[in-house]
Amino acid sequence: MNRSRLLGATAALVLGAAGITVAARGDTMTLGIGTQDTTTNTVNSGAVVRELHLFEKYLPKTGRYANTKFELEWQNYTSGPPITNGMIANKLQFGSMGDYPAIFNGYSFQNNPESKGYMIGVTAYNISGAGNGIVVHKDSPYYAIDDLKGKLITVPYGSAAHGMLLKAMQDRGWKEDFWQLANQAPEVGSTNLQEKKIDAHADFVPFAELLPFRGFARKIFDGVEVKSPTFHSVLVRQEFADKNPEIVVAYLKAMIEATNWIKADPKRAAEKIEEWTKISKEVVYMFLGPGGIMTMDPTIKPELVAADKVGADVLRRLDRIKEFDIDKWVTDRFMRQAFVELGLDYDKQLKSYDNYEVTGSDPFCGKPIDAPRKAGQIWVKGGDITAYSSPRCTLAALADLKKKGQAAGVVFLYDAALGIKLFADQAFYAIKPGAVAEITPFLLKKDAEAEAQKSGGKVGTFTDAMAAVAGS
């Protein structure tokens, strides 16, 4: 899908193969930006920047650009590889994608005699690896990755989810024939899973949450279990960046403002992002809201560079790529300049791993929320989002809302083992009955079973947890 934003008149002829020449006064410069609107991790470098016209806001207007007319060509794709193709063909100058597609991008440029590429910033990351996942049909008998031996799993080839599968396989010493892998785009894999034509589907952000939210899937594996950071990054053609650093910095400043816009009012942002991308606002909020699965931070942290080196090694051992110099590919000089121009401290932010968290006071139990990763939130249908101090207080508040005739659109809790945000109705619970029932939520059934055995409780569903809260 092509979406253009024009600045000024564009009657001048576009010079060069990709229209990026700025040699003479009055030229038009065409900038191609490859986005993935439905990949929630990249909305702060794509949909939000585009819809709020933030790139236009920061584009240089003085010096050698004083009489330049900019034409922005936003190209939306469902995965990273087509963006790489567009960048190699010099039709796109910028692109955003996940870690494994970005490695392929950098490797492809490294072996391109005509051009090279840079990785210049991060849109969002999870330092523990959460975000990618494997889902099965809600009626499936499979509850863990080990159950998928010999089964048919579809995954977008070359994606971050594909990389997750390859690393999970290597970590466990499994050979490539442990399961049957087939290449399917998110929309195809989703349909086939819903129609029970496949055993499982692995996908990147946000599909491992979106499909369960739509009611026909259940997540049985999260990328946090591979114990390696995952992230999405911003890439740029090297010769373009070296010739036009002011434009690269402008794009990164726009991305930083888009991130701040999301954090300033995450509920409003989730609603607008749903409007622009068609990804459910509740799923957007799960990833990018306070205490969300992803941390939005543009700095290039050493752990993320190290994770790319691990990813490159995984691909090299599987003969997907040859040698690739990650350190030569990654540069933070453009992001550092963006921070300087915005009056921000890059080195201070580089050392921070803090996400913005759920805060406030629990209106139902009357307690402060002093342990954000044990908190819960209820998004009332058509209303506000309210935070609570614990899983038990959250579910008790939900029961009270129902008595009052109010409907909850969604309830968020945190996995007690993995630390990631969950949809409460998708979780398994370790339930210990008592005068005050102990309710502990988990994504994985095996983790709930382990906790129940340790505490002397039992494993239950969301319905069981609600009943236990009501009974206590």
pLDDT tens digit sequence for 68-86: 999 999 999 988 999 999 9
Q: What pLDDT does 133 receive? A: 94
For range 138-166, the mean pLDDT: 93
- Residue 9 reports pLDDT greater than 80: no
User: Out of 5-14, 32-41, 223-232, 461-470, which region has the weakest mean confidence (pLDDT)?
Assistant: 5-14
Query: Quick one: which of 73, 76, 45 has its CA closest to 256?
Result: 45
Where are the alpha helices (H) located in 278-345, listed in sequence order? Answer: 281-288, 302-317, 326-329, 333-341
Q: How far is CA 405 from CA 33, 387, 399, 402, in A?
A: 47, 19, 10, 5
How far apart CA 253 and CA 334 sit, in angstroms, is: 10
Give percent of the chain above pLDDT 90.
83
What would the 3-class secondary structure string for 35-58 be?
ECCCCHHHCCCCHHHHHCCHHHHH
Using pLDDT thresholds of 50, 70 and 90, give the confidence band for residue 13. Answer: very low
How far apart CA 70 and CA 60 sit, in angstroms, is: 10
Question: Largest Cα–Cα distance of the chain, in whole Å?
Answer: 79
Q: What pLDDT does 10 receive? A: 34
- Residue 132 reports pLDDT greater than 60: yes
Tens of pLDDT along 218-252? 999 999 998 889 999 999 999 999 999 999 999 99
At 363, phi and psi to the nearest 5?
Answer: -75, -15
Q: How far is CA 330 from CA 98, 145, 205, 299, 335, in A?
A: 14, 33, 23, 12, 11
Q: How far is CA 296 from CA 41, 119, 138, 257, 354, in A?
A: 8, 16, 31, 12, 10
For range 165-181, the mean pLDDT: 92
Using pLDDT thresholds of 50, 70 and 90, give the confidence band for residue 26. Answer: low
For range 342-358, the mean pLDDT: 97
Tens of pLDDT along 388-425? 999 999 999 999 999 999 888 899 999 999 999 999 99
Q: What pLDDT does 16 receive? A: 36
pTM over 0.95: no
Query: Quick one: which of 410, 163, 385, 432 has its CA closest to 290?
Result: 385
- Residue 99 reports pLDDT greater than 80: yes
Q: What pLDDT does 21 receive? A: 39
Q: What pLDDT does 141 receive? A: 96
Query: Quick one: which of 41, 36, 32 has its CA closest to 14?
Result: 32
How far apart CA 229 and CA 335 sit, in angstroms, is: 20
At 402, phi and psi to the nearest 5?
Answer: -65, -40
Using pLDDT thresholds of 50, 70 and 90, give the confidence band for residue 15. Answer: very low
Q: What pLDDT does 18 receive? A: 39
Q: What pLDDT does 317 receive? A: 82
HSE (CB half, 13 Å, CA atoms) of 95? 31
Reduced to 3 states, what is the DSSP secondary structure of residue 254?
A: helix
Contact 273, 131 (CB under 8 A): no
At 347, phi and psi to the nearest 5?
Answer: -65, -35
Structure tokens at 120: 């210049």
Query: Quick one: which of 338, 107, 78 has its CA closest to 184?
Result: 78
Name beta bridge partners: 235. 95, 119
